[in-house]
């Protein structure tokens, strides 16, 4: 399973990237706005730092505007993926730019039918939003499982990015459901490797080892 960071915060990306476990980065207009910096500058900085794919989202709502933006964003770096919202205009745009070799991440996927349409249009990635489905008492993980079955049934090469991940349970469930990728906020990423029983276990081993050494000196 690949791990992407769902952030545009450079300090966070630099720190976590040192672990060697970051396979890519995803952003959206909300995430970019939080940093208060120029969009192109931030995306280029991230692309320089991270080897894997970096998603940058268009803001046009019509297909001509999306295509125009996608062609510009695509030039910013080799590892750019253009994020396109799941609308009729978005599907048209993906169909056009996929043929030009532009990688796309179709975002705001909330149903299996939307994911299927995006894959058929030629999306490189689809992003089902688990947390936002769970927020409305729907089942985000079921959507990832359904997309896995559908893509496997028809041998779509489109990769599933489990997005809108809010907790460790989402990461584990997305892995069990066969998601290709989980895109994880930095604050959550840093909790993935810790467990209170591990911390307690280390403290106990250390205390016992010191007592043993003191006795045998």
- Write down the least CB distance from residue 133 to ligand G3P, Å: 10
122 vs 128, which CB is nearer to ligand G3P?
Answer: 128
What the block records as the tokens of 10 is 């450079």
CA dihedral (181, 196, 131, 37) in degrees, to 10, reads -70
Q: What are the residues binding ligand G3P (CB under 6 A)? A: 6, 26, 28, 129, 131-132, 163-164, 183
Whole-number Å distance between alpha carbons of 177 and 162: 10
29 vs 201, which CB is nearer to ligand G3P?
Answer: 29
Catalytic residue among 2, 34, 44, 83: 83
- Write down the least CB distance from residue 104 to ligand G3P, Å: 14
Partner residues linked to 55 by β-bridges: 26, 81
Query: Closest Cα partner for 58 from 50, 66, 49?
Result: 66
28 vs 104, which CB is nearer to ligand G3P?
Answer: 28
- Write down the least CB distance from residue 84 to ligand G3P, Å: 13
59 vs 210, which CB is nearer to ligand G3P?
Answer: 59
Q: Does the annotation count 83 as an active-site position?
A: yes
- Write down the least CB distance from residue 177 to ligand G3P, Å: 16
Whole-number Å distance between alpha carbons of 83 and 94: 9
Query: Closest Cα partner for 97 from 61, 133, 66?
Result: 66
Nearest residue (beta carbon) to ligand G3P: 164
Query: Closest Cα partner for 98 from 12, 174, 158?
Result: 158
- Active-site positions read 83
């Amino acid at each position: 399973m690949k791990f992407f960071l769902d952030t545009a915060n450079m300090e966070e990306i630099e720190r976590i990237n040192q672990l060697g476990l970051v396979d890519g980065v995803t952003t959206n207009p909300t995430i970019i706005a939080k940093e208060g910096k120029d969009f192109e500058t931030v995306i280029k900085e991230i692309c320089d730092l991270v080897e894997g794919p970096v998603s940058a989202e268009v803001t046009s709502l019509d297909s001509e505007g999306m295509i125009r933006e996608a062609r510009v964003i695509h030039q910013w770096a080799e590892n750019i993926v253009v994020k396109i919202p799941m609308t009729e205009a978005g599907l048209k745009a993906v169909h056009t730019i996929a043929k030009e070799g532009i990688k796309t991440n179709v975002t705001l996927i909330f149903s299996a039918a939307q994911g299927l349409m995006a894959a058929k249009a030629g999306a490189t990635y689809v992003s089902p939003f688990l947390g936002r489905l769970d927020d409305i008492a729907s089942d985000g993980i079921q959507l990832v499982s359904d997309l896995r079955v559908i893509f496997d049934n028809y041998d779509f090469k489109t990769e599933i990015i489990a997005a809108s991940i809010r907790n460790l349970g989402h990461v584990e469930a997305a892995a069990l459901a066969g998601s290709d990728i989980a895109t994880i906020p930095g604050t959550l990423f840093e909790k993935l490797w810790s467990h209170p029983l591990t911390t307690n276990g280390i403290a106990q081993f250390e205390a016992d080892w010191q007592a043993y050494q003191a006795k045998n000196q």
